[in-house]
Chains A and B, each alone.
Chain A
Amino acid sequence: MDINLVALEAKQAGKKANGPKRPVKPTKPAKKTKKAVVFFEVEILCAKTKDKLCFLDKVDPNATIGEIKAMFHKSHPQWYPARQSIRLDPKGKSLKDEDILQNLPVGTTATLYFRDLGAQISWVTVFLTEYGGPLLLYLMFYFRVPFIYNTKYDFTTSKHWVVHLACMCHSFHYVKRLLETLFVHRFSHGTMPLRNIFKNCTYYWGFSAWMAYYINHPLYTPPAYGEQQVQLALIIFLFCQIGNFSIHIALRNLRPPGSKTRKIPYPTKNPFTWLFLLVSCPNYTYEVGSWVGFTVMTQCLPVAFFTLVGFIQMMIWAKGKHRSYLKEFRDYPRLRSPILPFML
């Protein structure tokens, strides 16, 4: 009973950042000294084998899981904090770095379980690599670097204007993505597993090389409806690129710097964000739109495949995000669909 009361008080005190020192608990005596603060002991076990990996004593009750991870890292240097998954139960959910030790349902001797998440790599690194590749690869095909096409075409340029336009659009798209990664996006997790970089790079680099090969091929056939088709496609592409960028800015402004809060996104004064009224993830909607525009512009089947695969993947993500929005917020607007208005 006492402990629960103390925990409740502690939670309320924890809301005011860095409150004064806690009063001493009447029943449990301080272990080491006669100070007013009771130190916690933390025992870290391996989640799979239940082996004792680390024992930390004299842990401040206000210590966060992040600090405990740092302490654990000192005793086991090969497991840096980003790689650690600390949980209360071997099969339970991972604790967040911000969680405070005394707010957790543990006694003064806390038993925590550790799982190795595997080698981690930062999101920014992954994004830069996976977007830098397509940018460079496409340009290699555009400039007809040797050993790709017949030797007589080395370093020549296409005679079709749409090929130059497609190169500009494709490069603009990936430059925009790179700049957004560096300056716009706010990531909730710092890292992801290392194997993701191989998977993601294969996908982006592979598809962009495949598309670029056909668009920049000496035997490329321009679109059947000529200038009209290209102009319409360009308008769609640019419209969706601006839309996508607007959504990224709006999402950035939802979250103050350094925080990891989650809020419902709403339309702002920017007309491109009004798609939020109908869709949970308008950034994906605009992304699909851009690629549909690019497909129409180049009239190239591999681009259509890429658009289709991208759409399927983004639809899966959008459905997941939509579901988690619905779970997290009671008052989530009912009109919204995950990715396509009224449809999907």
Chain B
Amino acid sequence: RADMAAPAAKGTSRTAQNDVASIKKKGPGALATAYLVIYNVVMTAGWLVIAIGLVRAYLSKGSYHGLYYSIERPLKFFQTGALLEILHCAVGIVPSSVVLTGFQVMSRVFLTWAVTHSVREVQNEDSVLLFVVAWTVTEIIRYSFYTFSLLNHLPYLIKWARYTLFIVLYPMGVTGELLTIYAALPYVQKTGLYSVTLPNKYNFSFDYYTFLILVMVSYIPRKYRLLLLLLLLLLLLSKIRVLRSEQISDTQINHRMLIHFWGILWIMVCFMFVLEMQTLCSIVTIQL
């Protein structure tokens, strides 16, 4: 996991000490380290603000509901700010994989903006609180971990917290995220949010509803996805067999449901097929 790689990555504290001594040889090194310390401190502070905001709102309201609104702005700001981490990897001041970091940050940003912000009706859901709390605690620990590592003074407590609380926080976050997406589904379908239908000038279509279902599917670990793919293929084959043996119903409602079912089934099968192909090969360009 990238989290495991992070301690080694932030071990630039060693180079930081050398850099201070030989600034003319590795000027950017010292500068990069200083910048990273500032960045991590700012992020730690930001997520602390969110944590405090949550506690204060809970105390004043007296209930768990609707706490999202009290921390909406700082959440959006600091979670979006995490996009800088992709830049850090791309530039090289943090030796993590750009692809991996990008994927993690984009999934967070997607949930913040494309789900929670875009679908107002889910903002009252308890699942939102679930993942916000999980993210807050995780990020406070993570950024303080990086800060202390860069300064070469990592308290054991932080290290322990990072690798132990993860066991609780990760499932908590995933559950909250999945429930939120699931809650958003009916509203997305009803309003056709972010969706494009045929016919149109550019001969393109996009169904955000199906896309969200696929996002949920992508959370499932590899092993179980393969099983799910097998199940879907069997379902598809049996459906083909059934349709061939009996007359297709003429009534409009059944027809629409059938097409709906078909469409999603096909797309899911193709999507999961692609996902599984990717597990069979690495993302490397063809060697000539």
Contacts and interface: CB of A to CB of B under 8 A. Distances in A.
Contact of B281 (A195, A206, A219): A195
B235 to A, nearest CB: 13
Interface in B14-52: none
Interface in A295-314: 298-302, 313
Nearest to A202: B277
A221 B199 contact: yes
Nearest to B206: A301
A200 interface: yes
- Most chain A beta-carbon neighbours within 10 Å: one of B259, B282, B288: B288
Given A214-B205, A219-B199, A224-B201, A195 B286 contact: no
Interface residues of B, dominant DSSP: loop
B200 interface: yes
A214 B281 contact: no
A196 B284 CA distance: 9
Given A199-B277, A199-B281, A202-B274, A298 B286 contact: no
A202 B270 CA distance: 10
B240 interface: yes
A221 B199 CA distance: 6
Contact of B286 (A192, A209, A300, A302): A192
Contacts, number: 63
A316 interface: yes
Interface string B267-288: 0001000100110111001111
A198 B280 contact: yes
A98 B274 CA distance: 39
Interface string B180-199: 00000000000000000011
A320 B203 contact: no
Contacts of A321: 288
Interface in B252-267: 259, 262, 266
Given A195-B281, A196-B281, A199-B281, A299 B288 contact: no
A336 interface: no
A224 B200 CA distance: 11
B262 A298 contact: no
B285 A198 contact: no
B272 to A, nearest CB: 12
B224 interface: no
B279 to A, nearest CB: 9
B249 to A, nearest CB: 11
B154 interface: no
B288 A301 contact: no
Contacts of B77: none
A221 B205 CA distance: 12
A215 interface: yes
Interface string A68-109: 000000000000000000000000000000000000000000
Contacts of A206: 270, 274
B202 interface: yes
A196 B277 CA distance: 10
B57 to A, nearest CB: 44
Contact of B277 (A151, A192, A198, A221): A198
B204 interface: yes
Contact of B285 (A150, A221, A300, A316): A316
B282 A219 contact: no
Contacts of B278: 199, 202
Interface string A258-274: 00000000000000000
Given A199-B277, A214-B204, A298-B203, 15 more contacts: A147-B262, A150-B259, A151-B248, A196-B286, A199-B278, A202-B277, A206-B270, A214-B198, A214-B205, A215-B203, A217-B198, A219-B199, A224-B201, A313-B285, A317-B285
28 contacts: A147-B240, A147-B262, A150-B259, A192-B286, A195-B280, A196-B281, A196-B286, A198-B277, A199-B277, A200-B286, A202-B274, A206-B270, A206-B274, A209-B270, A214-B198, A214-B203, A214-B205, A215-B203, A219-B198, A220-B198, A220-B203, A221-B201, A221-B203, A298-B203, A301-B203, A316-B285, A317-B288, A320-B288
- Which 4 A/B pairs are nearest by Cβ-Cβ distance? A301-B204, A195-B281, A219-B199, A219-B198
Interface of B: 198-205, 240, 248, 259, 262, 266, 270, 274, 277-278, 280-282, 285-288
